[in-house]
Structure 1
């Protein structure tokens, strides 16, 4: 993992130095750094690093805008955002752009190594504090892939506002079997067993189920 090429970007020199010093001490392969969004994107275009750790708010171009440009240009660099922001909309946007990591600044040095290990293995990483705050609306692809075809079919029907009774009728199974499937899906996705938690998740992640 530590040989993967990484670039970093932050418009606060001290924060950037602190992050770089920490990663270099841990023997990560930092191949470049930038102090604004334009320079960060130029570095990504030129060096094609495997991972880019970016501050979400920078002059000229934000971390999200860089991620969008990478996606549009088919650049495969995995983006990790470091941020102070906890708004749900930003996290949803991050997921749409296939951002691989979202780390809160207050926990950055504690979490960045775990994040980089996950990202290197192709697993997205979102700060646990984010998951707590947003009621666990995030799920990794491996969790989703652990669902059986029947469970995925049921999840799509839940997203379409079908009741247990309607799902049972459509799939020619018993009402009790639908309830058992729902319970299994909640466990596999690590959702809290609250009323409507599965419906909310299914609607917010409908695109992943297509």
Structure 2
């Protein structure tokens, strides 16, 4: 059966750009949409080989469409494209067994390699995504450098707790918490500016699961 590709994005210029580019390369574009509900209805009815979906669309997001397709056991392989550089969205896509994940700024550049990989049942998560997110999926590599107390303090910092609140929860003095914070900042080689550690914990929230922290 000939490969069929469906494209949905609420930016018409991107849809047109992808459609023209892939058509010129000889791919069979079976339809396009500018909102998630239209896209989902088409995918359910026609089950195209591949669906290229914007994460952030009106009515239904690309993630929500992927969840529904997974629930309904639809065979369409989903590639997500996004403007967002957030670790949480990236990890959510991985958990949903999404086949492709690209940043919009590199979509035209990478889409053909992504499709070629996807049709061989090999997921394609753009290396440029990891560069942009600046994170490691190897939790142990990062967290193993910290003591149990430091890991728990990092978790509480990620929850916007103050030194006083952290001390009360861990039965330690605020001064002890401050010493731990200083050691953590040195280990992470962060700049000595206010909020640097909080910013790091927000970017790396995916690390703070109970098993990784030691609860």
Q: Give the TM-score, by structure 1 length.
A: 0.64
List gaps (5 residues or longer) in structure 2: 139-143, 145-187, 189-205
Partner of 2:199: none
Q: Deviations over 1:1-37 (max 9, x none)?
A: x941110001111111111001101111111111100
Between the two proteins, the alignment pairs up a number of residues equal to 147
Tell me what 2:137 maps to. Answer: 137
Quick one: distance in 1 between partners of 2:5 and 2:40?
Answer: 13
Alignment of structure 1 residues 1-210 onto 2, 5 Å: 3-132=2-131, 133-137=133-137
Match of 1:171 in 2: none
Question: What is the CA RMSD across the aligned residues, in angstroms?
Answer: 2.8
3-state SS of 2:26 partner: coil
Contact kept in structure 2, 1:9 and 1:16, CA below 8 Å: yes
Quote the residue 2:178 is aligned against.
Answer: none
CA distance in 2, matches of 1:116, 1:48: 16
**What SS does the corresponding residue of 2:53 show, helix, strand or coil?**
strand
Q: Larger radius of gyration, structure 1 or 2?
A: 2
Q: Secondary structure at the match of 2:45?
A: helix
Q: Distance in 1 between matches of 2:74 and 2:134?
A: 29
Unaligned runs of 5+ in 1: 139-157, 159-194, 196-200
TM-score (ref. length: structure 2): 0.62
CA-CA distance at 1:135 after TM superposition: 3.6
Structure 1 residues 57-110: Cα deviation after superposition (integer angstroms, max 9, x where no partner): 111000000000000111111110110111000011001111110100000110
Change (3 A) 1:129 1:72: same
